[in-house]
Amino acid sequence: MWFNKGEYDKRGNRVVAEDMLTQALQQLKDHKIRVTPQRQIILNYLITHHNHPSVETIYQELATQLPNLSLATVYNTLKLFVDLGIVIELQNGDAGTHYDFFGRPHYHVVCENCGKITDVFEPDLRSVEAKAAELSGYLVTGHNMEVYGLCPDCQKLLNVTKTADLKRLKLTHSE
Ligand code: ZN
Ligand code: MN
């Protein structure tokens, strides 16, 4: 089964992966872009996985389902989705690019030790856009925020329990 993951919107209503896929496919149709099996399966993979995969990961995971799939097709499909604003690109310091379905806006916390990228849905930073517009005179179209730190697994691994301990790992960004 593809559609088994449910998420919740701000009002607590269940947002089903199937609905997100339908909406995203409609966006393709609105732009007169053909819905090929490859495009549909790659999009579905991104909607149902929150692992912020690289091109290679997506290719490896889907190659068994789509024997004719090539790395170039995955790459070009992702580029198309990024251009449409359906998918975003992320960096985590490992020199690769990671991809994320962005049907529901959220923020990312990136582990500076292992590169893990975790979703954060809570903080509402739309006021940042209003403030930036006010201070710069720009017509603001959007924003992106990344928070850096040490994930719970790496905290255990490196025996770090408080922010002050980060100094010895030279992971703090303050002067
Ligand atoms: Zn980590
Ligand atoms: Mn994400």
- Look at 48 and 1; give whichever has higher pLDDT: 48
pLDDT at residue 12, as a whole number: 54
pLDDT at residue 175, as a whole number: 44
pLDDT class for 166, splitting at 50, 70, 90? confident
170 Cα to the center of ligand 2, angstroms: 26
Ligand with minimal distance to 98 CA: 2
Q: How far is 43 from 34, CA to CA, in rounded Å?
A: 13
pLDDT at residue 2, as a whole number: 32
pLDDT class for 77, splitting at 50, 70, 90? very high
pLDDT per residue as tens digits for the range 113-153: 999 999 988 767 778 889 999 999 999 988 878 899 999 99
103 Cα to the center of ligand 2, angstroms: 10
Residues with CB under 5 A from ligand 1 (ion): 111, 113-114, 116, 151, 154
Ligand with minimal distance to 148 CA: 1
pLDDT per residue as tens digits for the range 89-111: 998 888 889 999 988 778 899 99
108 Cα to the center of ligand 2, angstroms: 6
List beta partners, residue 6: 16
pLDDT per residue as tens digits for the range 25-49: 999 999 999 999 999 999 999 999 9
Residues with CB under 5 A from ligand 2 (ion): 100, 119
pLDDT at residue 145, as a whole number: 81
pLDDT class for 1, splitting at 50, 70, 90? very low
Q: How far is 18 from 147, CA to CA, in rounded Å?
A: 30
50 Cα to the center of ligand 2, angstroms: 6
pLDDT per residue as tens digits for the range 2-28: 333 445 555 555 667 888 899 999 999
H or E segment to which residue 45 belongs: helix 37-48
